[in-house]
Structure 1
């Protein structure tokens, strides 16, 4: 049971971070379908940092530098969406889809090239971070606490305050609801949308490194992030673009994802005699079922996905 709780919390942490990123982007008026690609890039930045840090680096510095590397690469990659969608008015869905395809492909090519340059016989797309990963973990009895769990909780609280209790958050949401009205009172819609997309890049990149370090000590980048970016979008929609509801949705989806890791420890689940692939599919099946019954009542920001035209009223 402790292992189930542990995996549920770590997978929920990933979903919370990435879904909150999508929430900020969509509240600004930009649909971020590219969260999957952003997660891969954040995972790449964090994994490279973990791989190349000297063994004598303190645990605090390992955590800090890894987080900075992940959020930096995630934010830089999200600029592709910001420039294309905000500055040039490109179709946001197409740009996001292209980012997803490019992210996994670019990371795979880069890692293979790096491994080959170090060892010509190594053509894999795998990065190892066995020793450095220990910096994120703290043993609490039979429970293994991961510092990323705390980081996700802090991000959740900060997101709620930022969106609903600050001038920045209220302006951001105004740009996603009625950008022309926001512009008429002096709010720079373009800057706010850039800010929303960049925040999604920061949180999405962080979610990427949390995901790949959740249960393994190396990652094969040609596997991407197994659809967690899309699962996070489902969490965001089910959570109605509200941080508090997103947290509850993330726990639900995180529980079903955790079952695929620990179902062998439960006799009643083993008695069902289901193949392991069924448990791996559970979170995605649940997401389809949940969205089928709830998406009709969803209330997305009114201007999301619509390029802003300053001359339109």
Structure 2
């Protein structure tokens, strides 16, 4: 029973990682560095809280998340694809911009510097078991299906073939009639939608937006992308591994067997160890970070 509870909690925690990492895989497969995942998730979380609050429906919250994610993705696309700015600098700027702007609009809209009022979330209120109630949230199932579906899209469809081509050999793709920048734009908007849904899950699951609530999950999702070597199935396994570490952290904190400061380090230490063992041997898409 304890093992089952651990697995259910790990899956629940893995959902935002899975969605953000799916966005990261898509973005980097078309050649755009996914350093802005944290900002996309945070904007999605705020958009979800705003949409759910004013629309009085979690479905309005999802729509708000997608709108917010689209706006931030548009900024990213204009800077990296239209003006060919350095993608690392743009990613860092997006993260800083979203962190500051959500804090500003939180105070402007909700007159609070820390969190929004309670907003409607998806079902499960009548279910006594909190873990099982989470699985009544459709975003959980979208998260679980995101990376397998992305794997099918990348390796079984013409769209996926073109996406991988512009991320590996854009010059060769262009000679075969593939429009590189429009293809990258499509991949980037899909990535933004997935990452913003990851943020929406956090806000709707907790029934509110909290300042900085993504708490580095976008960076851990990016680590999972690298650890999984840009292959959707491997990335999904990496996300579950990191979610398992976070679940262990929560349970150890409850047991109070070790000082809390050491327990809080577990997910991040695991991330560093995982990347230290794989980065030298992993091969990123050849055109990653390069303008056409």
With normalisation by structure 2, the TM-score equals 0.92
Q: Is the 8 A contact 1:75 1:199 kept in 2?
A: no
> Match for residue 116 of structure 2?
127
Aligned pairs (5 A) from 1:160-309: 160-214=151-205, 216-221=206-211, 223-264=212-253, 270=256, 273-308=257-292
Q: Is the 8 A contact 1:6 1:143 kept in 2?
A: yes
Q: Is the 8 A contact 1:32 1:96 kept in 2?
A: yes
Match of 1:48 among 50, 54, 67: 50
Q: Is the 8 A contact 1:11 1:211 kept in 2?
A: no
Residue deviations 1:174-193, cap 9 Å, x none?
00000000000000000011
Residue deviations 1:246-295, cap 9 Å, x none?
111111000111223232555xxx4xx32223222211111011100111
RMSD value over aligned CA atoms? 2.0
Cα distance in 1 between the residues matched to 2:272 and 2:88: 19
Cα distance in 1 between the residues matched to 2:248 and 2:48: 26
| Change beyond 3 A, Cα 1:164–1:114 | same
Match of 1:20 among 22, 37, 48: 22
> Match for residue 31 of structure 1?
33
More strand by share: 1
Cα distance in 2 between the residues matched to 1:64 and 1:217: 13
> Match for residue 101 of structure 1?
96
Q: Is the 8 A contact 2:48 2:204 kept in 1?
A: no
| SS, match of residue 278 in structure 1 | helix
5+ long unaligned stretches in structure 2: none
Q: Is the 8 A contact 1:3 1:262 kept in 2?
A: no
After TM superposition, give the deviation of residue 52 of structure 1 in Å: 2.3
| Change beyond 3 A, Cα 1:164–1:134 | closer
With normalisation by structure 1, the TM-score equals 0.86
| Change beyond 3 A, Cα 1:264–1:43 | same
| Change beyond 3 A, Cα 1:28–1:138 | farther
| Change beyond 3 A, Cα 1:33–1:138 | farther
| SS, match of residue 209 in structure 2 | strand
After TM superposition, give the deviation of residue 64 of structure 1 in Å: 2.9
5+ long unaligned stretches in structure 1: 55-61, 117-122, 309-313
Report the number of matched residues. 287
After TM superposition, give the deviation of residue 209 of structure 1 in Å: 1.6
